[in-house]
Structure 1
């Protein structure tokens, strides 16, 4: 008997009950995280264990992920770097520098809107937009 892994189902499960923001910003990822931490009271930190490695054009590309878990809640925030050396984690969102995934607990509209408006007001941020699961063609690239 041969078991087949249903990758599409795995990807769908990963994104269930999540919210995803795309962010365009002209600042380095560590500077962006410092601003997020200061303005939102969060504690985003680089998590090298979650770094995503894609092999394209006969070479490896590395996409950093910063992580913050809210206190007294399962809600965890993941901030992905969408671009590395000319390659994109999600090529369908080439104009986005960062992808912010909120996972493991539902985020209501009020909280999501507060995050979006706070991020929009940060220095160097040009765009903050919520992305829907249907818009993401390369979901598997974000799964860790």
Structure 2
């Protein structure tokens, strides 16, 4: 049996003026110290975990922008191709994400954004630290 509704109701239900955050996110992102410090970010699965945590924070606070998704994909790609001997592409991708995140920090999101920045730093520094522990040659210092 068909149902007749007004066009105004249909448009009001289907079209929203402002995008809303995804319904799956019920509250503020939660990042505790054990989640951050218990991972070995030189391994890809830990990098994926870190990128997903950063994504969770950015999705909660910056859901209306789409630039960060591209930056995170670049970070994940650079992390997948990084080696302990050469991780300059990873450092560059992390710098782009960091610059974007620092511009978005305000008083309301400072705590979670700082935690996401910490995870980003750990992802960036892990291959070099691993190379140092293994005794591999480090990148030459810029002259």
TM-score, L = length of structure 2 = 0.29
TM-score, L = length of structure 1 = 0.29
Q: Report 1 or 2 for greater relative contact order, CA contacts < 8 Å, sequence distance ≥ 6.
A: 1
Larger % of helix: which?
A: 2
